[in-house]
Structure 1
Amino acid sequence: MKTLDIDVAVIGAGSAGLSAFRAAKAKGASVVLIEGAHYGTTCARVGCMPSKLLIAAAEAAHAARRTAPFGVHIDGAVRIDGAEVMARVKAERDRFVKFVVESTEGLPADERLIGYARFIDDNILQVGDDTRVHAKSTVIATGSTPFVPAMYQALGDRAIVNDDVFAWDDLPRKVAVIGAGVIGLELGQALAWLGVEVTMLGARGRVGPLSDPAIKNHAHEVFSEAFHFEPDAVVEAATREGDNVHLRYRDGAGVVRDETFDYVLVTAGRRPNLDKLALLNTSLEIDARGVPVFDAATLQAGRHPVFIAGDANDVLPLLHEAADEGRIAGENAAHVALDAQGELKPLVRRAPMSIVFSEPGIAMVGARFVDLAVDSFVTGEVSFEDQGRSRVMLRNRGMMHVYVDKASRRFVGAEWIGPDAEHIAHLLAWTLQMGLTVDNTLAMPFYHPVVEEGLRTALRSAAAQLANG
């Protein structure tokens, strides 16, 4: 048995783990990075990047079908070669993964271990069968895995998760998407635009991350143009029939429907990868989800020398959040390991932002509509149906609500669906993080003609309501 004495052990070589490793090392700690499977982040392998590659192909197909209103006519039907689509997705995905793998493998060999780690106690880890790590502190950054309810597990390889989509060699004929969250909406629309017959079965009226009823209803209408969308469905049975899946579900009106699909794509959320860690061997307090109870500011699990960052803590499963959390967890783990003086460093989160890479895009910045105190804010509104630049490009679909606090006149949040949402979201996130008022924001320059003029209209709407008391 090989024994390694170290200051900080980082479990997981994803975005949070790599950030934690670098931060702890920068503080002067001896560090080891432990990875159970393979190098390459969730984002690069099965998340952000391959999904955007599929979406890019879908947007090209969608644009090609919509040239006639401009007076540009393409003779014949748009032909989509599913094998070529997936070949590019996988080739470019592998290129992104290669960069991440090379970067990780560029770390000193004696600072990396391959093998699943499990706790022997709070300070001792067993890695694989032949290595024991004695660590003064540990960072858990093991990421997350798609959750598949038991009903669909019985379907074998006909029930897939987003990871599996990017292993396809060709596009299927017909797919049911279970779940109308961010991943479901992005992949569902992309597949539909690439010629796949898609039925999306959501639950409890969910449409992505949206909580504002008016914006949610508008988004439902928009997505229903691309595929059959049931946001209030209840799946009653799922059975395997050869290489097909038969679903029986009740739609929002209570009507029972029976359909057969090539695949069921389950996008029912993700769960932290903690089951292999043997956390019961530690003195950590574990919550109902199986996640160690930790301080939201320092990411420390109680008073123990254990920190948890990234998707593993199940707070904000986004790459930039994981990197920020990993950095703070690594610094604080080094602080504990080196018996440094002073308090642990708190995590200062950036302005919250959520983006769905659909067309039109969905975005949310700051406080959600449902979390704001009634009568504490005004709602500025704009429709993109007649917004100048949006109409010029024939991308004039969408609606935006911005929320402005009545007392301080500060921008506090927004929810919307509309063109270039991913870019406007950054402007509003900066506005929120800088604590700007609606007046400060309207004093900023707005060029003409740009989609951002729609944001100005919404802000003017909010300012007018404040002026009217």
Structure 2
Amino acid sequence: MPQTGPLKADVVIIGAGSAGMSAYKSARNFTDSILVIEEAHYGTTCARVGCMPSKLLIAAAEAAHHAHHAGRFGIRVSQVGVDGRAVMTRVRAERDRFVGFVLEDVEGWPEAHKIKGSARFTAPGRLLLDDGTAIEAGRVVIATGSRAVWPSAWDALGDRLIINDDVFDWDDLPGSVAVFGNGVIGLELAQALARLGVRVKLFGRSGRVGPLTDPAVTDAAHAAFAAEYRFTPNAQVVAVERQGDAVVVTEQVDGHEIEERFDYLIAATGRRPNLDRLGLEHAGIALDERGTPIGWDRHTTRIGDSVIFLAGDAAPDAPLLHEASDAGRIAGENAARFPFVAPRHRRTAIGVVFSDPQIAMIGQSHAQLEQAKTSFVTGTVDFTGQGRSRVAGRNVGRLNIYAHRVTGKFLGAEMVGPAAEHIAHLLAWALEADRSVQQMLDSPFYHPVIEEGVRTALRAARDAMDATSPAHRPCLDCRPAA
């Protein structure tokens, strides 16, 4: 019989990205009364326009970079050419392959569970689709993701204004690009395009470099990047306008106004959660001044005492695939098992920027420790002279490790340097295991490896603790020191 009246489901999931897909799989373990509403594309931001296509572009850039610099090892490369069309053909083809795997997963879901369209609340537990369909939901999981934002004045740039999503649909590489935003996306794209022969300038305004908060590590990162391409972390931009098919950026430099023309402006100036179009006020959800739901619990993903759960990039959480998947799993389970709502463990914070040198953030940042007035010491290694890094010609960067001044517990780290993506995992696992600096030093370190730099930083942290309070610091592990 045809459907009459509103659709009904125990669990309604809005959004079918990383968090939404994870929520669906989790909820299906407890109920088959599920609806997933998706207004655009099924699949993840990571596969379509994020993690994977950006790494494909970076891989091509690294190949070109290594070929250009092979001479320092005595290897003569007569000519290095970048075929922009071939680069982008591979990026798009492999991107589509990754997306295909995600779509195959969604295609296996029952058709009765999938609805195309946009939804908004009309009352607690009631949703209305853009085609007029009403839905009654026992519980709702919001996994609507986020979207890029930029100054409204830039709208006048028309098709010369693009975001990272657009880059991966290019047929060829442009001649020049202005990248605005010195966060993760801006850093990765600016360097990759520069290495592929595009004239690039990266404009920031915060003075920061990616997610780094430690001034010493930030300085090391800026020095490394600025030596390779033009990067101003605190640019004084006077005007951005379109002239013909070009974007003209006027910048104040040393008291003088300098104009430069670019083919495109890439806006990597931040993202906002896709919550403003959901009518959350009709669901009884209070929002703060930034439009974020008040009372959201990261460990249950529940908003206050409501029957609404929030997960993924739409939540005030780290915008990372593994965090979105974890949050989606928690949201789906708690929504399906409601009123039983259980807090779940969230993983140790870890973040990586796939620049060269790479950036890594583990656990508590320098800024968080300072803000909390934590008593901590810093152990440092400068990779300039680190053995294996120097052998490979990757001896750039700095690692700062933070440890509690009294207990010796490892608290977190910030790093720019070689193999940061791998070192970050070792440090995150140590933090997850609640290890002390001494216990970490008692772990094995092979020779010669880049990880020996971690040991150098750990030793420096231990020495700093010994220098400040050797008589009062407890013996956490009295085995022979490393």
**Quick check: TM above 0.5?**
yes
> What are the within-5 Å matches in structure 2 for residues 2-81 of structure 1?
3-28=6-31, 30-76=33-79, 78-81=80-83
What is the CA-CA distance between 1:466 and the residue it aligns to?
1.6
Matched with 1:345 is 342
Distance apart, 1:29 and its partner CA: 5.2
Distance 2:163 2:311 in 1: 24
Q: 2 CA distance for matches of 1:346 and 1:360? A: 37
Could you tell me which residue of structure 2 aligns to residue 445 of structure 1? 444
Do residues 369 (structure 1) and 366 (structure 2) align?
A: yes
Partner Cα separation in structure 2 for residue 64 and residue 73 of structure 1:
9
Q: Deviations over 1:307-362 (max 9, x none)?
A: 111101132111111111111111111122xx44xxx2113221111110011101
123-132 or 205-214, which deviates more: 123-132
What secondary structure does 1:26 align onto? coil
Partner of 2:351: 354
Task: Give 1:283's aligned amino acid.
Answer: G
Partner Cα distance (2:291, 2:367) in 1: 28
Which amino acid counterpart does residue 403 of structure 1 have in structure 2? Y
Structure 2 counterpart SS, 1:417: strand
3-state SS in 2 of match to 1:45: helix
Tell me whether 1:240 sits opposite 2:242 in the alignment: yes
Q: Residue type of the partner of 1:362?
A: I
Q: 1:95 maps to which residue?
A: 97
Residue 302 of structure 2 is matched in structure 1 by 300
Distance, in Å, in 2 between the alignment partners of 1:258 and 1:266 is 18
Contact kept, 8 Å, 1:285 with 1:292, in 2: the verdict is: yes
CA distance in 2, matches of 1:215, 1:54: 26
Residue 213 of structure 2: SS of its match in structure 1? Answer: coil
| C-alpha distance in structure 1 between counterparts of 2:308 and 2:95, whole Å | 33
**How does 1:5-404 map onto structure 2 within 5 Å?**
5-28=8-31, 30-76=33-79, 78-251=80-253, 253-293=254-294, 294-336=296-338, 339-340=339-340, 344-373=341-370, 376-404=375-403
Please provide the CA RMSD for this pair: 1.4
Give the unaligned 5+ runs of structure 1.
none
Shift of 1:225: 1.7
Paired residue type of 1:269: G
**C-alpha offsets along residues 290-310 of structure 1, whole Å, 9 cap, x if unaligned?**
232223332222222111111
Query: Does the 8 Å contact 2:241/2:248 carry over to 1?
Result: yes
SS for the counterpart of 2:251 is strand
Q: TM-score, normalised by structure 2?
A: 0.93
What SS is found at the alignment partner of 1:118?
Answer: strand
- Give the drift of 1:2: 5.8
The one-letter code sitting in structure 2 at the alignment partner of 1:352 is: A
AA aligned opposite 2:71: A
Q: CA deviation at 1:132?
A: 2.0
Say which SS state the counterpart of residue 276 (structure 1) adopts.
coil
In structure 1, give the amino acid aligned to 2:356.
E
| Cα deviation, residue 75, structure 1 | 1.3
Structure 2 unaligned spans of 5+: 469-482
Paired letter, 1:326: G
Aligned-partner Cα distance in 1 for 2:155–2:311: 29
Which TM-score applies when normalising by structure 1? 0.96
Q: Distance in 2 between matches of 1:367 and 1:254?
A: 39
Per the alignment, residue 417 of structure 2 pairs with: 418
Does structure 1 residue 407 correspond to structure 2 residue 413?
A: no
| Mapped partners of 2:141, 2:403: distance in 1 | 39
